[in-house]
């Protein structure tokens, strides 16, 4: 069974962030594996292990100046990676990214394509379903468990009340939620093996894509600092605390005056 996992490399959230001249996140430093995607990698590895054959490969679009994040996923056990890096893609929106990833994936014949429900930095949560549409595949989203039975993938789709069981015939695109499994730590052997696993960097031209079909890009017009929340008001309960709380709740329309 062959599983492709979409993985996004992101600037380390623990490090100070800055914006470039076009108001985009500065991605020139170290790029780590988005934690959201570590779950997809783990699910893929477990499915291939359960099948007893096949491979896990990775696809990514973004800067390839640093592939620390890709190497982390390879160290977990993925076999190889393809990274699409091209200055033409700067400012690409989610749909453009989906078109590019679809072009990579359609060069292969995976049984399953996994992605996270949403990335940790862009978090539009739209890319995987766009990818499914472009590849003309079913999309099963918000999976908290993924099982493959023959040529069918069965997922538990998270709902507010619990989960729905949803199934589709392979191949399919599945998005997994954070916490779906405990991603494995890379072993020393895995880290050493990852150094020699292929990371193929390709351009838009390599994929045979017409750059004109990759518009529109997104432009960030302005960035403003979010207003900080002001500190709450403190009351010392002088015996009328309950009434004051009620009056406050009425003021912000949580309860109506008739509740009194
Ligand atoms: C030069 C360059 C600069 C970029 N700069 C930025 C930037 O500043 N901010 C930004 O958010 N994005 C940037 N990107 C990446 C790209 O534009 C976004 O990945 C895309 O817009 C998807 O947005 P999202 O993260 O909201 O997707 P979501 O729909 O939230 O992502 C859901 C899941 O889809 C998969 N996925 C998403 N993006 C990718 C990807 N690129 N590669 C592989 N899998 C992916 C992951 O599994 C992810 O968890 C850049 C790309 C390039 C080439």
Question: In sequence order, which residues have a C-beta less than 8 Å from that of residue 120 and are 6 or more positions away?
Answer: 10, 13, 34, 35, 36
- 111 Cβ inside 6 Å of ligand 1: no
What average pLDDT does this structure show over 60-67? 94
Ligand 1 centre distance from Cα of residue 93 (Å)? 8
Topology of domain 2-214 in CATH is Rossmann fold (3.40.50)
Q: What is the dihedral of CA 123, 76, 111, 124, to 10 degrees?
A: 0
pLDDT at 225: 85
Ligand 1 centre distance from Cα of residue 120 (Å)? 9
- 123 Cβ inside 6 Å of ligand 1: yes
Q: Is the peptide bond before 216 cis (omega within 30 degrees of 0)?
A: yes
**Exposed/middle/buried for 260, CB within 10 Å: 0-12, 13-18, 19+?**
exposed
Ligand 1 centre distance from Cα of residue 8 (Å)? 6
**What confidence tens digit (pLDDT) does each residue in 193-216 have?**
999 999 999 999 999 999 888 876
How far apart are alpha carbons 196 and 59 in whole angstroms? 17
**What confidence tens digit (pLDDT) does each residue in 1-43 have?**
999 999 999 999 888 888 888 888 888 889 999 999 999 999 9
How far apart are alpha carbons 188 and 51 in whole angstroms? 25
- 92 Cβ inside 6 Å of ligand 1: yes
**What confidence tens digit (pLDDT) does each residue in 167-185 have?**
999 999 999 999 889 999 9
Could you tell me the residue ranges of all domains in the chain? 2-214
pLDDT at 219: 83
Q: Which of 127, 176, 180 to mutate to test the pocket of ligand 1 (most atoms within 8 A of CB)?
A: 127
**Phi-psi domain of 135 (left: phi exceeds 0; alpha: psi -120 through 50; beta: other):** alpha
């Amino acid at each position: 069974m062959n599983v492709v996992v979409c993985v996004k490399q992101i600037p380390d959230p623990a490090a100070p962030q800055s914006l470039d001249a076009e108001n985009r996140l500065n991605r020139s430093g170290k790029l780590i594996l988005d934690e959201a995607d570590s779950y997809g990698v783990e699910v893929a590895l477990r499915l291939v292990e359960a099948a007893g054959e096949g491979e896990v490969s990775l696809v990514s679009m973004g800067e390839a100046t640093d592939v620390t994040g890709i190497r982390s996923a390879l160290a977990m056990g993925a076999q190889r990676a393809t990274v699409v890096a091209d200055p033409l893609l700067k400012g690409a929106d989610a749909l453009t990214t989906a078109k590019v990833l679809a072009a990579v994936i359609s060069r292969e014949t995976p049984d399953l394509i996994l992605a996270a429900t949403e990335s940790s930095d862009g978090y539009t949560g739209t890319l995987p379903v766009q990818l499914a549409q472009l590849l003309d595949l079913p999309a099963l989203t918000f999976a908290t468990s993924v099982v493959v039975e023959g040529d069918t993938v069965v997922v538990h789709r998270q709902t507010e009340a619990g989960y729905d069981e949803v199934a589709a015939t392979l191949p399919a695109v599945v998005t997994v939620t954070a916490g779906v499994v405990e991603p494995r730590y890379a072993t020393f052997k895995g880290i050493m093996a990852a150094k020699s696993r292929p990371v193929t960097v390709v351009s838009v031209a390599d994929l045979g894509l017409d750059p004109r079909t990759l518009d529109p890009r997104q432009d960030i017009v302005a960035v403003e600092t979010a207003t900080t929340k002001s500190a709450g008001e403190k009351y010392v309960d002088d015996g009328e605390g309950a009434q004051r709380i009620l009056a406050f709740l009425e003021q912000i329309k949580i309860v109506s005056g008739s509740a009194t």
